[in-house]
């Protein structure tokens, strides 16, 4: 796809004639090709925020944490094909009722609505069922709101979202579905920003930065509102819409206070496990899993609204004091890991399974180490020394390779 097409894909602005394909194999990887635009828009957001408010839209520690969670969420795709497509193609091949034409504009627009409605349903249930919220809350754990937050994703969420798309597999070709699955995801990138205020009449139909800021808020009026992906019409129809009003304070009602991506992914599951065993009665134990995250014995399914912490406007984001040189260190080493990760994506078909697993293991170790460094944890230095020694060993043995050969010596230094 040409750069112009790719840019339009980011805004769901590629019409059917340019984005209809006969087979899944012909569908471009729009998400991977959008990475340069992600970087460009993040830079643009920083510039506009500085011009508007004389301050940056985020912090180094939170930004690295968001990007770490994004990388972590994509690592399973290095080993396995997307479960969304595998399950969809299986149902299509074995159970489809009839076949809509892949090259019809009507099929294209119907799929747009179908994918977005399926996303609304899954997204809403992810907030209302505790075990699904344990995965989805990762995306809400940032106390900043910027384009980095859009990349803050869960490792586990994709293993439950796939089933909501299966009804479409009874009649919509997989190639059409594969396009809209990506477009729906890409559209949601640019709405994670504070530099865009209101968009006039578009606010009635589309999900916009203003609507999505409400969704990420922990103010009582923001809780469980504005679930839409591309369109806001589903929220208006089903009564979950809320317009932006008082200044939004971002993050979870009970902040996690960590930059460790492994802990951010797994601690909610540990919390459910502990609650499950601590709650008496078999039915209550099931309720811990399948009712809302605010539920407790004797409470309604989604908990009590009055138990949501009041927002004073004086909330201070988790921001441990770390020397400036340590932030610089984390930033530089994180850039190295991004290089190794993108090189892994580019060359994984030529690598042995053992080498791929070794690289993935090292990336996970590195992201965890950076998280502890930015929290100024006492054991972070020891873990980082071990990580650097491991890097030197495997780099010398040729298991790691930079995309830029001239950086090899610099990495060793």
Q: Which residues contact 242 (CB under 8 A, 6 or more apart)?
A: 214, 221, 222, 225, 226
Task: Give every residue of the chain whose pLDDT is below 70, as ranges.
Answer: 1
Which pTM was predicted?
A: 0.93
Helix (H, G, I), strand (E, B) or coil at 217: strand
Check residue 78 and give its pLDDT.
81
What is the per-residue pLDDT across 275-301, written as a single tens digit (0 to 9) for each? 999 999 999 999 999 999 999 999 999
CA angle (85, 368, 338) in 5-degree steps: 60
Check residue 291 and give its pLDDT.
96
Inter-CA distances, 407 with 207, 331, 403, 413, Å: 42, 16, 9, 10
Check residue 156 and give its pLDDT.
92
Helix (H, G, I), strand (E, B) or coil at 130: helix
- The residue among 119, 75, 380, 305 whose CA lies nearest residue 228 is 119
What is the per-residue pLDDT across 178-234, written as a single tens digit (0 to 9) for each? 999 999 999 999 999 999 999 999 999 999 999 999 999 999 999 999 999 999 999
> 254: left (phi > 0), else alpha (psi -120 to 50), else beta?
beta
Q: Which residues contact 176 (CB under 8 A, 6 or more apart)?
A: 20, 21, 100, 102, 107, 108, 111
- The residue among 92, 99, 103 whose CA lies nearest residue 21 is 103
- The residue among 329, 250, 252 whose CA lies nearest residue 60 is 329
Interior/surface letters 110-139, b for 16+ CB within 10 angstroms, e for the rest? bbbebbbbbbbbbbbbbbbbbbbbbbbbbb
Find out whether 162 and 83 touch, Cβ atoms under 8 Å. yes
Check residue 249 and give its pLDDT.
96
Inter-CA distances, 148 with 154, 225, 279, 368, Å: 14, 21, 37, 18
Check residue 190 and give its pLDDT.
97
CA dist., res. 328 & res. 97, Å (int): 57
DSSP structure string for 173-215: -HHHHHHHHHHHHHHHHHTS-SS----GGGGGTB--HHHHHHH
Helix (H, G, I), strand (E, B) or coil at 250: strand
CA dist., res. 366 & res. 370, Å (int): 6
Check residue 1 and give its pLDDT.
58
Query: Which 8-state DSSP code applies to residue 405?
Result: G
> 21: left (phi > 0), else alpha (psi -120 to 50), else beta?
beta
CA dist., res. 394 & res. 370, Å (int): 19
Helix (H, G, I), strand (E, B) or coil at 284: helix
- When computed from its CA atoms, the radius of gyration of the chain, rounded to whole angstroms, is 22
What are the domain boundaries of the chain?
3-238, 262-307, 324-407
Check residue 55 and give its pLDDT.
87
- Hey, CA dihedral for 40, 41, 42, 47, is it positive or negative? positive
Check residue 314 and give its pLDDT.
87
């Amino acid at each position: 796809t040409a750069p112009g097409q790719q840019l339009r894909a980011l805004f769901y602005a590629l019409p059917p004639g340019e984005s209809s394909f006969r087979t899944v194999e012909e569908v471009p990887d729009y998400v991977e090709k959008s990475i340069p635009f992600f970087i460009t828009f993040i830079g643009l957001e920083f510039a506009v925020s500085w011009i508007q408010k004389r301050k940056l839209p985020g912090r180094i520690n939170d930004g690295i944490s968001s990007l770490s969670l994004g990388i972590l969420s994509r690592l399973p795709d290095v080993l396995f094909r997307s479960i969304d497509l595998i399950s969809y193609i299986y149902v299509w091949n074995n159970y489809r009722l009839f076949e809509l034409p892949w090259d019809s504009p009507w099929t294209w627009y119907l799929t747009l609505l179908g994918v977005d409605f399926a996303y609304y349903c899954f997204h809403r249930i992810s907030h209302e069922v505790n075990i699904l919220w344990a995965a989805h809350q990762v995306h809400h754990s940032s106390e900043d709101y910027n384009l980095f937050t859009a990349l803050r994703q869960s490792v586990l969420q994709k293993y439950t979202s796939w089933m909501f798309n299966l009804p479409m597999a009874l009649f919509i070709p997989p190639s059409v579905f594969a396009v809209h699955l990506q477009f729906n995801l890409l559209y949601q990138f640019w709405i994670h920003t504070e530099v865009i205020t209101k968009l006039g009449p578009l606010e009635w139909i589309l999900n916009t930065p203003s609507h999505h800021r409400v969704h990420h808020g922990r103010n009582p009026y923001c809780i469980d509102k504005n679930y839409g992906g591309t369109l806001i019409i589903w929220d208006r129809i089903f009564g979950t819409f809320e317009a932006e009003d008082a200044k939004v304070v971002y993050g979870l009602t009970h902040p996690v206070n960590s930059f460790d991506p492994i802990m951010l992914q797994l601690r909610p599951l540990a919390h459910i496990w502990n609650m499950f065993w601590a709650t008496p009665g078999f039915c209550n134990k099931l309720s811990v899993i399948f009712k809302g995250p605010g539920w407790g014995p004797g409470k309604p399914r989604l908990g009590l609204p009055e138990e949501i912490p009041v927002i004073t406007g004086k909330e201070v984001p988790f921001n441990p004091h770390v020397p400036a040189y340590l932030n610089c260190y984390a930033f530089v080493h994180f850039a190295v890991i991004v290089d190794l990760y993108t090189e892994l994506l580019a060359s994984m078909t030529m690598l042995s399974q053992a080498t791929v697993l070794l690289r993935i293991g090292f990336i996970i170790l590195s992201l965890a180490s950076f998280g502890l460094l930015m929290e100024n944890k006492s054991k972070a230095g020891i873990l980082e020394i071990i990580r650097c020694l491991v890097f030197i060993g495997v780099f010398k043995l040729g298991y790691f390779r930079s995309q830029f050969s001239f950086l090899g010596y610099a990495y060793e230094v």
